Amino acid sequence: MALVTAQDLCDFALRIASVNGQGQTPSPSDEADTLLVVNMLLTEWQLNRWLVWNIVEASFQSTGAASYTVGSGGNFPLSFAGGRPDIIDSAYARTTDPVSGLPVDTFLYPFMAREGYDRVASKALGGYPPESFFYDAGATIGTIYFYPVPDATWTLRIKAKSDLGQFAALSSPLSVLPAAYVTALLWNTAERLRPLYGMAPRPDLTQMAATSRLAIGASSTRVAQAQQPTPSNRSGVYSHLVAPPAAEAG
């Protein structure tokens, strides 16, 4: 059978899971429950960089503010199923070289935790090229903070995992996803369905589900080059990335 719509996927997953037999028509309630499982899987996979095949970018011209919103309706309109990205994978700031007129990009080092950003003594410091950012993923919309605070000559650019999306209805086409994802959804949905119907796990089904995840993971995994924080070389200016020199013994 050809898998064209989400309903095709759900019906086949119910059969693979042995909830329905060959030639049986699934009930509407079983199809609805299975579609819910499919969307829950997509939501779960969205959190894993190795299960998302693409990175997307959004930009916003700095206004001189220290922070900007991220998510549906935010300054950076990157969204996952109408929500905000869970993390920002990378960020950089772009300005124009006054001599050549060419764009110049500055990589921004990420604070990986709130505790790191909290250690910045002067969060309102401006007048210098931005060096770093901290992303606070709120419940529905995120907030990204830049340091030092970039002025209006900088265009701020952030990147996050692309949205795997959700199937709004059983009639939704499967063509919105690469074919390998449809295969992985089929086996993983079937695996998740068995305990919902009081059936024991099937080792063969578990193996197929894991193999299909590894297949898309192998294609999507990207390992970034090692990158040291960009130290501040501005003499006499505080940098949160470089420890102050030790005092000489008197």
pLDDT tens digits, one per residue of 66-96: 999 999 999 999 988 778 999 999 999 999 9
8 A C-beta contact, residue 90 and residue 202: no
Same domain for 66 and 134, yes or no, is: yes
**In a shared domain, residues 171 and 157:** no
Residue 249 within any structural domain of the chain: no
For residues 107 and 174, state if they share a domain: no
Q: How many CB atoms lie within 10 A of CB 225?
A: 4
The domain boundary, picked from 125, 141, 161, lies at: 161
For tokens 């950089």, the residue is 92
Could you tell me if 37 and 69 lie in one domain?
A: no
Domain with 86, as residue range(s), is 55-161
Q: In what order do the strands lie in the sheet with 103-107?
A: 55-61, 155-161, 90-96, 103-107
Domain co-membership, 96 together with 187:
no
Give the pLDDT confidence of 141-160 residue by residue, as tens digits: 999 999 999 999 999 999 99
Can you tell me the mean pLDDT for 109-134?
93
The reply to whether 27 and 109 lie within a common domain is no
Q: What are the tens digits of pLDDT across the range 180-235?
A: 999 999 999 999 999 999 999 999 999 999 999 999 988 766 655 555 555 444 44
* Domain count along the chain: 2
Residue 249: pLDDT band by 50, 70, 90 thresholds?
A: very low
